[in-house]
Amino acid sequence: MLFHVRMDVSLPVTMPEAQAAELKKTEKEIAQALQQSGKWRHLWRIAGQYANISVFDVESVDELHTLISTLPLFPYMQIQIMPLCRHPSSIRDDDR
């Protein structure tokens, strides 16, 4: 199942810089591992915002929830999720 996920991050201004840096470092490691596994298929930054648009390829809504909710920055995110399905006018056999 494919999902379009928008994640907007808002860290507290009172968070110590070292703590924020550690969260971001761990988040990057997890995100890259999920991309290498094929679960996090695409990841794009939204220009001028601390936000991203991603495409996840997972077996279920539950799996997507588990992946997202275990991200270190999850407590600081506003998340929008849209399930995707293949468009009948797509010219591609494999939309990867």
Q: How many domains does one find in the chain?
A: 1
pLDDT tens per residue, range 48-86? 999 999 999 999 999 999 999 999 999 999 999 999 988
Range list of H helices, the chain: 17-37, 61-69
Distance, CA of 44 to CA of 53 (rounded, Å): 5
pTM exceeding 0.85? yes
* Count of other CB atoms within 10 angstroms of residue 74: 14
> Which SS3 state, helix, strand or coil, does residue 55 take?
strand
Domain limits for position 13:
2-84
User: Which CATH number does the domain housing residue 48 bear?
Assistant: 3.30.70.1060
In this structure, is residue 30 part of a structural domain? Answer: yes
In this structure, is residue 96 part of a structural domain? Answer: no
In the structure encoding, which two tokens stand for residue 72, read together?
A: 């270190």
> Which SS3 state, helix, strand or coil, does residue 8 take?
strand
Per-residue pLDDT band for 96 (boundaries 50, 70, 90) equals low
In this structure, is residue 92 part of a structural domain? Answer: no
Q: Going by C-beta distance under 8 Å and a sequence separation of 6 or more, which residues neighbour residue 48?
A: none
| Pair 29, 83: CB distance under 8 Å | no
